[in-house]
Amino acid sequence: MLLTSGTTGTPKLVSHSLASLAGDMERLGVLGHGTTWSSFYDIRRYGGLQILLRALLTGGSMVMSDPEESVRDFLSRATASGVTHLTGTPSHWRRLLMSGAAHQISPAYVRLSGR
C-alpha cells in the first residue's frame, strides 16, 4: 500500500504488487545493467520506489537522496558515487538549476519522472 501524491486530488492509499511497481524491466536495455541511479524522489513513495526497483532488478545500483541535504551536497555526493542516471520532477530540476550547482554533475541520462 502506497499513498498517492494527491496531485489530482486528495491523497489515497493504493495497493500495488511488485509487477505494478516494477513495470516492464526487461526492455530497459542501456537503462539497466551497470548504471548508477539516483533520484530526488523519496524511495518510500511511488516514484522513488520505482527507481530503486529499476536499479535493483536490472543489475544497477542506487545512490539515495536525503531530504535534509542541500542540492549542492547531494550533487557532490552523487558525482563522487558515479551516478549515471538521475530522475526528478520539473520542480526538482528547477531547484537544481537555481542552486548554482548544476555544473557538479553530468549524468548520461536524466528524466523528468520516476518511471
pLDDT of 84 reads 94
The dihedral sign for the CA sequence 98, 99, 101, 102: negative
Is position 43 within any domain? Answer: yes
pTM, 2 dp: 0.79
Task: Please tell me the distance from the alpha carbon of residue 78 to that of residue 72, in angstroms, as a whole number.
Answer: 10
Longest C-alpha distance within the chain, in Å?
39
Specify the number of domains making up the chain: 1
Is the distance from CB of 72 to CB of 62 less than 8 angstroms? no
Task: Please tell me the distance from the alpha carbon of residue 48 to that of residue 39, in angstroms, as a whole number.
Answer: 7
Domain that holds residue 44: 32-111
Cross-strand pairs, 37: 62, 85
**pLDDT by residue (tens digit) across 34-93?**
889 999 988 887 778 888 888 888 888 999 988 899 999 999 999 999 999 999 988 889
Is position 80 within any domain? Answer: yes
Is position 82 within any domain? Answer: yes
